[in-house]
Amino acid sequence: MGALLDHVRSYYEALNTGDPERIASYFTPDAIHYYTRMAPHRGAQAIGEHTQTAVERLGGRWHVENGIEEGDQACIEWTMTWRDPRSGEPRLDRGTEWFRFRDGRIAEVRAYFHSNQKNRSGDLMGFDHAGRGYTVLESGEADGIPGESTAPRR
């Protein structure tokens, strides 16, 4: 693993604390975090505060599943486990993030993830997440998606 992925993995450990200052320390002051489902967060402090809310309100936990890096960029596959605030049910989202670095810190994140009623978790249909060592819910299934693994969690 290279230095950029080390930085991303350490950042993901910080995410799970919900500590906004610690999270912000991984970013340049003018960093931007883009999303597919909401407006971007601009600035290291705003990024940290958003994560604090997700940890406190949703019990969010993030996991780096895979990653590559080249030049001043890194890309990861991630999984987020969380609890639905209305029902209390465990949930899982999957996605990928592209990171651009400047001066040893994250300057930009482009987060791609999807979920809707048909595919709540955003799982790859028919892909054996559990069998390949990815994070899965305790049941081994992601909301009963056809083709999803029923293999035991590793």
- Backbone angles phi and psi of 90, in degrees to 5: -70, 140
Nearest to 51 by CA among 66, 33, 68, 64: 33
pLDDT digits (tens, 9 = 90+) for 30-65: 999 998 778 899 999 999 999 888 899 999 999 999
Domain carrying residue 23: 3-113
Let me know if residue 136 belongs to a domain. no
Domain count of the fold of the chain: 1
Tokens of 64: 């780096």
Q: Is the pTM of this model over 0.85?
A: no
Residue 130 lies in a domain: no
The answer to whether residue 129 is domain-embedded is no
Residues 153/133, Cβ–Cβ less than 8 Å = no
- 94-151 tens-digit pLDDT: 899 999 999 999 999 999 887 666 666 666 667 788 888 888 877 544 444 433 433 3
Look up the CATH number of the domain holding residue 86: 3.10.450.50
pLDDT digits (tens, 9 = 90+) for 9-19: 999 999 999 99
What's the pLDDT tens digit per position in 68-89? 999 999 999 999 999 999 999 9
